[in-house]
Structure 1
Amino acid sequence: MEAEAAKFIGAGLASLALIGAGLGIGNIFGSYLQGALRNPSAAPGQFANLLLGFALAEATGLFGLVVALIILFVF
């Protein structure tokens, strides 16, 4: 019974990475939008950086989700 509770606690702690991913993605897009509104001519040149930052932030969240699912269903 204690092992089952420990699995749920561990999965919950691992899923905290999703909070960081959400904050990171919001920060990335907010900063891009703020910069694009200040200098619209430079916005297309920074679009590739926007997508790279989004992908890296989202990957962190997905890794946390995968770890949480592994804890729940493998152990």
Structure 2
Amino acid sequence: MDDSIRELADEIYREKVLRARKMSVAERFDEGIALFEELALPMMKAGIRHQFPDADDADVESILRKRLRRLKQVADYGIYQDV
């Protein structure tokens, strides 16, 4: 990576960290939810659409909800915990 790009990326990262440190817990939580909705959900839906090309929007939502419930179950029961 070009040094100027790396420096810019590092500066952007530092600014994000400093901005996050100034946020309250509630603000950070809200930001996390917003990022999940903006980034993770569309990617998950795209993956579902790729896996099930004939699925309509309702089917995609249903599959997404099932997968999210399964992820919650995995987290709730402590499966695959980091050591």
Q: TM-score, normalised by structure 1?
A: 0.39
Q: Which has the higher contact order (CA 8 A, sep 6+)?
A: 1
